[in-house]
Amino acid sequence: MKIVPALLALSLLRVQVVAQEGPPPGLTDVENARSRACVPALRQLAQLNAVLEPFARRADRLRVINRSIALEDTTVAAPFDLTDATEAAAHEWFMADMERARRFVEARDDAIQAERAAAKEEIRGRLFAEMDSLRAGADSRMAEAEGVEQAAQPCEGAVFVRPTVLEACAADGGPLCDAARASATPGPFRFVDAADDLWDIEELRPWSEAGPLRAGPDGSILGGRTATMARLGNIVVTVGLGTIIRDRTALPEAEVAAFDANVDTLGIQFSHAKLVMAPAIELQASVPAAIGGETHYLLHFGDLTGDDDVVWSAPVGTGGLVRAAFPAKGQDLQRLAEGNPISFTAVRVPEGEEGTAAEPVYSLTLTAVNQAPQVTGLLGYILGGGLSRDLALLVPPTG
């Protein structure tokens, strides 16, 4: 098995993944620190959201009015608030346009149609100008609160240590404090009585349904992916099989050639004048700062005794989100299709002792439930040319 410093080739190590007997020694300090830090972080985030909420509400209303005007259907946005200058202007446009439309039906004069088009462009321009102003106002508030969202990121979806939160709440307040003081009824946050209790929280989700590619509401390409999730305390790992799709014209010739050679090697029916594609393994892991001296993360099959078990590795950072997406090898696709479970393991490589045994600190094995049928179905869709055909419809190779 190989571990790579800085995502490059690693020296050969042997690791035997063993059953975890208890939480790593640093878990208590790291999780208590998270619970303390999240009290002010979530309070500040709630304050920021309260400031931004009117901007979002107004922007949503302007989008509804714009759609109503684009469709020339007043019922989409009715009733209008005539005490609001913009809404009153939109209502007046509808009334005037109805009159212009009546005149056009009677006279069949193209000048009237041009008048209608100009008036429509004018009212939509007013809406777009207000949207731009709203966006600038929201951006200004975000700039004033720089770092708030980043500080709250480790708190998202976390389970907190209640006594530590309550201690921090003695000098602070906010939504996390309110939840920690409340009774045991379900709320927006989860708590444990001690940090070590986090190691008893385990969750697994089966592999998701892998549907075909489709267009998202914002024009993005969705689908063509299956994924699963595992949780151990506040360590949450999602692994999926999807595709890397890139603009062929924006890549160096060597990278384009590598993509094309990869699909040929895998026997994939894929041809697109604008895009390149590769089946990809996707990883997202929410990890704490080192809690047991771990130095590297591994994504792997089996128990790490095989030379080809490791499919990805990276050095440990300071905690937070770890993301990776990389073209899958044929042997890895086969193991996934056969239902072989995949695991995420943190290991400690003794400093200055590369080539010796690495020690596992913790490991999460993702479930194989629904894995084989979903991966097999997705690979059939990719290999058989279905993905290529759907992609050509979503992003026409010509025109």
Query: 112-169 pLDDT, tens per residue?
Result: 888 888 999 999 999 999 999 999 999 988 888 888 988 899 999 999 999 999 999 9
Residues 134 and 215 in one domain: no
**Same domain as 370, residue 330:** yes
Please tell me whether residues 191 and 276 are part of one structural domain.
Answer: no
Residue 241 has pLDDT above 70, yes or no: yes
Last residue within a domain, chosen from 162, 180, 200: 200
Same domain, 158 and 236: no
Model pTM score: 0.80
Least confident of 10-24, 155-169, 273-287: 10-24
184, 200, 216 — which closes off a domain?
Answer: 200
10 band by pLDDT with thresholds 50, 70 and 90: very low
Q: Estimate to the nearest angstrom the gap between the alpha carbon of 255 and the chain centroid.
A: 26
Same domain, 173 and 250: no
Which DSSP letter does residue 12 get?
A: B
Residue 4 lies in a domain: no
**The residue type at 259:** F
Are 239 and 254 a contacting pair, CB within 8 Å? Answer: no
Q: Which long-range contacts (CB under 8 A, 24 or more apart) does 212-215 make?
A: 212/381, 212/386, 212/387, 212/390, 213/387, 213/390, 213/391, 213/394, 214/390, 214/394, 215/394
Please indicate, yes or no, if residue 92 is contained in any of the structural domains. Answer: yes
196 and 209 in one domain?
Answer: no
pLDDT band at 89 (very low <50, low <70, confident <90, very high): very high
Average per-residue pLDDT for the chain: 89
Looking at the structure of the chain, the number of domains it has is 2
Same-domain pairing of 183 and 270: no
- Residue that is last in its domain, among 200, 228, 260: 200
174 and 283 belong to one structural domain: no
- If asked whether residues 214 and 170 sit together in one domain, one would say no
Give every CB contact of residue 68 below 8 A, 6+ residues apart in sequence.
74, 75, 76, 77, 78, 90
Which of 368, 370, 371, 346 is closest to 359 using CA atoms? 346
Residues 293 and 364 in one domain: yes
Mean pLDDT of 104-108: 83
Asked if the structure places residue 277 within a domain, the reply is yes
**Which 3 state secondary structure label does DSSP give 202?**
strand
* Residue 7 belongs to some domain of the structure: no
Question: Could you tell me if residue 399 is inside a domain?
Answer: no
List, in sequence order, every residue forming a beta bridge with 315; answer none if it has no partner: 296
Examine the domain organization and report whether 216 and 178 are in the same domain.
no
Burial level of 398, CB count in 10 A (0-12/13-18/19+)? exposed
User: Which of 374, 392, 338, 390 is CA-nearest to residue 242?
Assistant: 374
Tell me which residue range forms the domain holding 245. Answer: 202-394
Has residue 13 been placed in a domain? Answer: no
| Co-location of 271 and 386 in the same domain | yes
Does residue 8 form part of some domain?
no
- Whether residue 335 is contained in a domain is answered as yes
